[in-house]
Structure 1
Amino acid sequence: MKKVIKICSIILVSSMFVLSCNEDTIDMSNYQEAGQSLPFQEALQLKKDKAKYNPSEDVTFTVNAVHPNTSIRYKYLGKTLSEVPLSSTSWTWTPPSDDFKGYMVELVKNTNGDETILGTVAVDVSSDWTKFPRYGFLSKFGNVNSSQRNDILNNLKDHHINGIQYYDWHAKHHIPLPLDSSGNPESSWLDLFNREVKLETVKGYIDSGHQLNISSMFYNLLFGAWHPEDGDGFSNQWLLYNDQYRNSINKHDLGGLGAILVTDPANNAWQDYIFNKTDDVYNNLDFDGWHLDQLGDRGTIYDYNGYQVNLENSYNDFMEEVTERYPNKKHALNAVDQFGQNQILKAPVDFAYTEVWSREQYSDLAQVILENNQISENQYNTVLAAYMNYDSSEGAFNTPSVLLADAVIFAFGGAHLELGEHMLSREYFPYNNLYMEDKLKASLLEYYDFMVAYENLLRDGGEFMMPSVSSNNLKVNNWPPLYGSISLVGKKVDNKQVYHLLNFNGVSTLNWRDNSKTQTAPTIFNDVEITINSTSSVSKVWFASPDFRGGASQELEFKSTGNQIKITVPYLEYWSMIVLEN
């Protein structure tokens, strides 16, 4: 049975073919019968003490019990570095001193020669968190006591979140931190939606986060004034206008609350003003950097003197200046639906950040990441603000839509801004009408472990390739995804060939946002036989999946005949990874 709605276009980006369309083509005849689900449970609740670690820094692990015949296995990309008995509920490990490496730690119970994984956790050793950014958010800064703050931060730490965006923590966009008559910060203030913000809460989050090696980025527009008043020192000469005669200020309307007045980012006087106000922030709060926001394409705009302004070029100018002013701080600028990204990623930023709006397909998520790679010449990794189940206002998040979106984003080397005090579903971060079911909570821990443990394959260079893979069990195709098929993404990283199997067999939509929460879980498969055509000699094949055994790697037997490598993939739910080593 087929339901054909629209023919989609295929675009070549960074040696990958990426599908972009707004509708779906369904071929139900390709769906296969389901296999056996093999859910994983963390029997020993293995945890580590920080979100990331600096080179030569010790890692402290804890478990809730000690099981007999259980060992701790430390791995790097499928290779065992060392293995010791589990003898205590707390211990330390010093990883190799190499910078920017991800490791997997497995608790393995041996029963008469049969191994069972009782727990896994990843470890990221990186001196700079923006090399592999894993971004979270905070959005409530009122009466949040230290115990509540620690609970939130520890949850983010367990997901390896190494940087946090402090959303709407400020008072006014042009005066983010209000000072009293003595030049000291006020103890509390109201944000633009009249919510109370307490200095103690903001400072407490920053300081406690640093103890977990989590960096803090303060949110603010790079342009914008909120209700400027006499005494603010603000000038209308810094504003942008919709006409040459200053009849209409360019503004972002917020209904009954008023409007954000848009300033010219390239105006030197505006830069001096907002940088001086930013000095007040850094002098009183130990933020690690500035998460800069914009408002997308503003149309045809003019400065105070009636000259047309190229907004995208002004972003580059502003970022050059802010980096010169604050060379030891981190900076990222949101490319709203990719607006201005060609200029942003040629400026001195620390990672790529895109808020995704009009690109609605799973293939579009991959395309944005590939575009960012291409624009930045593979210098920056990407964080996507991609809001799941956006139109839904009650109930639970749709677990299949979230996991499949994360599988695509992570497989292509990106990260997903989604975790804070709650899971994110709207661009207004405090919105918290949807909750996560237990299945999603448990799976996300494994997905974030997987992203960290194998970051050197997922996010550390390499070259995407068009794989040649076939199967007698399943329908497979090279990316982009098709209904009823396993979509393949190939990548060469040093002496390794990496094959990602992304499962679109059984899904009901190729729209990642899944506004109406109709996405269905893909069909589960066990022991899938596949054949990989490879001209390279292969010495080892291994497999790992965030959906199987906590992401623990497993060496596979293989049969090599000419240029063909035949293997059996143990499990495929949402995402499985195969690695061939030369």
Structure 2
Amino acid sequence: MMKAFHRASTAAAHLAAGLLASTGLAACSAAGSQPAAVRPPAPALLVSATTDKAAYAPGSTVLIKADLSNQSDAAIAGARLTLTVRHLEQDVGPPVSAELRLDAGAAGRVQFAWTAPATDFQGYSFELAATDSAGKPLASGTGAIDISSNWLKFPRYGYVSQYAAGADAQAVVEQLKAYHINALQFYDWQWKHHLPLKGSPTAVEANWHDIANRTVSRDTVRKLIDAAHQAGMAAMAYNLIYGAAINYQQDGVSPAWGLYDAPGGKQWQYSLPSSWATPGLYFFNPANAAWQDYLIGRELEVFQAFSFDGWHADTVGDNGIKYDAHGDPVDIKDTFKPFLNAAKARLGSKLLMMNAVGNKGHLQVNTSKVDAVYVEVWPWEGFPDYLSLKNVVDQARQESGGKSLIVPAYLDYDYAKTKSEQSPGQFNDHGVLLTEATVLAAGGSRLELGDDGRMLCSDYFPNRALAMSPALKAALQRYYDFAVAYENLLRDGQAAAAGTVSIAGQAVSADGQKDTVWAFAKADARYETINLVNLKGLVDVSWRDTNATQQKPAALGSFTLRYYSGAQLERAWVASPDAEGGRSRSLPLAHGADARGAYVEVTVPGLEYWNLIYFRKTV
């Protein structure tokens, strides 16, 4: 059930505005001005909005930063910049404004301080609107604020994978913070899977080589953890639950704990490139008590040496029946829950999550004591299309008691194989945004964004074969803003609703069919929602867009939508990350009935990729 919203009449509404620099905006340098011939004749102002953290505790101070750039020949004087904060459709307290003056071609920053409400786990949007001396709009910027005491309710998971000495940890975290990433997976940071630390917990060596023989700096790992914490992000240490490098016996690991391809046969292993630090990974039985004791002990040493917040455990999927050292068969999926519960019992306050690759063993993992749920999906494992993504998010929420699934889903996978770090390609924006819309609308989130401004195109995270275009980065920032602003409608206890949708003149599907508007409804105690994902004109509904060929869906102009629901609905709004900066727009609501039953009818102004329509119930 969605938590009740309280209008901010207390400290939550107290806003303070001021200039960041004591010199004031007018004193900013005009060094970035453009030649007069290409400047617009009237003031043209750019507004970029950010916050100082990815998430905030209730009652804390939120710093909202507006970076402004006057692109024109004329100075901006007597203008104002006004901040409005909203929760869904409701303003939170009165708007607050600051005087704005910028020389021609100058740039500057205005900073607002906002006191967060005391209610936990709430998402807010904000708008920064600049007006001239006559009150005429000049420009605006939008953003979002997550007030959550921890990241687990509304995970927005990112990754880091580069740990070279001298890396700028603050810059890495800063660019991820722009997307409100609230937790980071530290991928392949460790020395060996069975022995993560090189050295001891009190004397970790300064450098080591990871599994791919890349140099890892101890100080860079620590700086990244510290920078993440300062930005309101958790830091999760990656490691397999059952892997070891060659010569593992030298480190106290016994082959008697291993898993084998056949009774008395070869140990189950995974071959690696010849240039890597070990020729392969050798696998062990997660249900074996001695192996559990060994590996969990090594992870506890990690937490003594580094201030990680938890363990991101990994697997390599279901590889069929294996055998223990006694020749008894082992279904690897049956070992997940015993291992995870044993680990959680020893980790104390540290968090635990695990990748159930291909959703194999999902019930074991989702009903264990993990703190977050995470599934790496692959088309050949039963996840070929957009509907399958929604279904796995729904399933995880049901099995885990309401947790929001994190979905690593690698797009443009085959296309990426034709590119390289030295000659990278670009992601196909349309495929990315359709997959993004699907997972967010379903109530999940994606693991996709990492260090160096990269998006995952491979299950090996340091792969840099593809890059995001500036347009895609901007679009994804809008989508992440939207996910925060509407988190209380997208993944805060909503359940599937029985309501159905029709759109005048358009084919509508409830199961993501090609060349339709895909519509599905949800409800909580106060609202009913309809998510519209635009698949019009598409001949392919595979989320992976493996060859980067997905088309842009055919946009719809204004259309009439009928929603057949038994609930009493009194107000309606539409919001989209593709329009109006994600703002909620009120929709006139009409009631009627036809052969299908009673309905409410609204006129929706358009649909590009994804719309969220929400109705408030009559109380």
With normalisation by structure 1, the TM-score equals 0.88
Q: CA deviation at 1:116?
A: 8.2
Displacement of 1:465 in angstroms is 2.0
User: Would the aligned equivalents of 2:202 and 2:304 in 1 still touch at CA under 8 Å?
Assistant: no
Q: Does 1:305 align with 2:326?
A: yes
Could you say what secondary structure the match of 1:442 adopts?
helix
- Which of 75-84 and 353-362 deviates more? 75-84
What is the letter of the counterpart of residue 98 of structure 2?
S
Instruction: Give me the whole-angstrom Cα distance separating, in 1, the residues matched to 2:519 and 2:196.
Output: 46
Counterpart in 1 of 2:304?
283
Tell me if structure 2 keeps the 8 A contact 1:69–1:85: no
Q: 2:457 aligns with which of 414, 425, 429?
A: 425
List runs of 5+ in structure 2 lacking aligned partners.
1-43, 70-75, 100-109, 420-424
Matching residue's letter, 1:360: P
**Structure 2 residue 154 is the aligned partner of structure 1 residue 132:** yes
Give 1:217's aligned amino acid: M
Q: CA deviation at 1:255?
A: 4.1
**Which residue is 2:540 aligned to?**
509
Q: Matched residue of 1:332: which SS?
A: strand
Question: Residue 351 in 1 paired to residue 386 in 2?
Answer: no
Separation in 1, partners of 2:498, 2:461? 38
TM (normalized to structure 2)? 0.83
Mapping of residues 20-35 of structure 1, within 5 Å: none
After superposition, give the CA deviation of every residue in 1:540-572 in whole Å (9 maximum; x if it has no partner).
111100000111111122223353322111221
Q: Aligned partners of 1:64, 1:152: CA distance in 2, in Å?
A: 20
Match among 259, 279, 282 for residue 240 of structure 1: 259
The runs of 5 or more residues in structure 1 that have no matched partner are 1-40
- What is the alpha-carbon distance in structure 1 between the residues aligned to residue 233 and residue 202 of structure 2? 29
From 36, 44, 60, the equivalent of 2:63 is 60
2:64 aligns to what SS in structure 1?
Answer: strand
Structure 1 equivalent of residue 212 of structure 2? 193
Deviation, 1:506, is 2.3
Q: Deviation per CA, 1:499-528, whole angstroms, max 9, x where unpaired?
A: 111100122411111111110111122222
Give the share of equivalent positions with the same residue, in percent.
35
Alpha-carbon distance in structure 1 between the residues aligned to 2:356 and 2:163 = 26
Name the residue aligned to 1:249: 267
Q: Partners of 1:42 and 1:213 in 2: how far apart?
A: 30
- 1:123 corresponds, among 123, 145, 151, to 145
Instruction: Determine the structure 1 residue equivalent to 2:50.
Output: 47
1:412 alignment partner in structure 2: 442
Q: 1:118 to 1:340 in 2, by over 3 A?
A: same
- Does the CA contact (< 8 Å) of 1:239 and 1:303 recur in 2? yes
- Contact conserved, 1:483 with 1:505, CA < 8 A, in 2? yes
Distance 1:222 1:187, change over 3 A: same
Quick one: structure 1 residues 115 and 364, their matched pair in 2 at CA, closer, same or farther if it must change by over 3 Å?
farther
Measured in 2, the distance between the counterparts of 1:252 and 1:390 equals: 21
Query: Following superposition of structure 1 onto structure 2, how do residues 336-485 of structure 1 map, counting pairs within 5 Å?
Result: 336-357=357-378, 358=380, 359-378=383-402, 380-393=403-416, 394=419, 395-421=425-451, 422-477=454-509, 479-485=510-516
Q: 1:87 aligns with which of 67, 86, 98?
A: 98
| AA of the residue aligned to 1:50 | K
Which is greater in Rg? 2
Residue matched to 1:578: 613
Q: Classify the secondary structure of the residue corresponding to 2:413.
A: coil
Q: Quick one: distance in 1 between partners of 2:573 and 2:248?
A: 63
Offset at residue 354 of structure 1 (A): 0.4
User: SS of the residue aligned with 2:238?
Assistant: strand
Q: What's the counterpart of residue 224 of structure 2? A: 205
- Structure-2 separation of matches of 1:115 and 1:577: 27
SS class of match (1:65)? strand
CA contact (8 A) 2:558 2:603 kept: yes
Change over 3 Å in CA distance of 1:151–1:188 after alignment to 2: same
Q: Is the 8 A contact 2:80 2:98 kept in 1?
A: no
Residue 7 (structure 1) aligns with: none
Q: What is the Cα-based RMSD across aligned positions, in Å? A: 2.0
CA gap 1:538/1:270 in 2 versus in 1, 3 angstroms: same
CA positional deviation for 1:275: 2.0
Q: What amino acid is the match of 2:91?
A: T
Q: 2:287 aligns with which of 253, 258, 266?
A: 266
Shift of 1:70: 4.4
The offset of 1:535, in angstroms, is 3.1
Match for residue 34 of structure 1? Answer: none
1:511 and 1:279 map into 2 onto residues whose CA distance is 41
Q: Is the 8 A contact 2:161 2:462 kept in 1?
A: yes
Q: In structure 1, how many angstroms separate the alpha carbons of the residues matched to 2:150 and 2:125?
A: 20
Separation of aligned partners in 1, 2:434 and 2:136:
31
Q: How far off its partner does 1:172 sit?
A: 0.5
Aligned to 1:538: 569
CA contact (8 A) 2:66 2:128 kept: no
Query: How far apart, CA to CA, are the structure 2 residues paired with 1:382 and 1:183?
Result: 36
Task: Please give the alpha-carbon distance, in whole angstroms, between the structure 1 residues aligned to 2:607 and 2:470.
Answer: 21
